A and B are shown apart, each in its own frame.
Chain A
């Protein structure tokens, strides 16, 4: 199993540009989440999904869209990038079968810089 994979690893955008961060998992996990990591603030939840076709907002959803058309993929879209979105983005997944521990498995991250 590859686990959780993310592409690209690095990205530089100009203010106002759009892009999609890709996330895929091959563990057949129901739950998938996107976090952003900023210095001194830990990881904050952006959006999450409990299954294909179902998504919901986390702590910091503004400026981001998600969709979940398949169990494997959970892309994160920035429609109009802003410098405040400069961050490291992590995708994570977990299985309902791991309840009650709900351990999440993280991808390698995407480092995004918005100029």
Chain B
């Protein structure tokens, strides 16, 4: 079975600071990788995903993530955060072809100070 680790539980940044949230997974086979965002009081929304090709994927709202296979990592980045980025961010993985087996990390709460 796969597992996902998010090492940063709570990150506090000032506006315009750069962001990097760590995500590591463990699984022996081919995986799909996702970052979801949950704004306060709202449901999860897909931020970006990787399944093949260019390991640097770009998502909505200026976010990007880089898949490093040798490190089993899929870190989320944004060069300049905004107050509106305050939310909880979840990294998730599923084994290729297994739509049902989506495994989530514990989440990282990002607080951006104006």
Contact = CB atoms under 8 A, between A and B. Distances in A.
Contacts of A100: 32, 51-52, 96-97
A102 interface: yes
Main secondary structure, interface of B, reads loop
A31 B99 contact: yes
A40 B49 CA distance: 23
A101 B106 contact: no
Given A31-B99, A100-B32, A42 B106 contact: yes
B80 interface: no
A50 B51 CA distance: 21
A82 interface: no
A99 B97 contact: yes
Q: Give the size category of B's interface with A.
A: 20 to 34
A40 B94 CA distance: 20
Interface string A77-115: 000000000000010101010111111111111000000
Contacts of A35: 104
Interface string B23-45: 00000000010101000001111
B102 interface: yes
B100 interface: yes
Contacts of B96: 100, 102
Contact of A96 (B32, B94, B99, B101): B99
A101 B51 contact: yes
Contacts of A102: 32, 94, 96-99, 102
17 contacts: A35-B104, A40-B107, A41-B106, A42-B4, A42-B6, A42-B90, A43-B90, A45-B101, A48-B100, A50-B100, A92-B102, A99-B99, A103-B34, A103-B46, A106-B36, A106-B43, A109-B43
Interface of B: 4, 6, 9, 32, 34, 36, 42-46, 49, 51-52, 90, 92, 94, 96-107
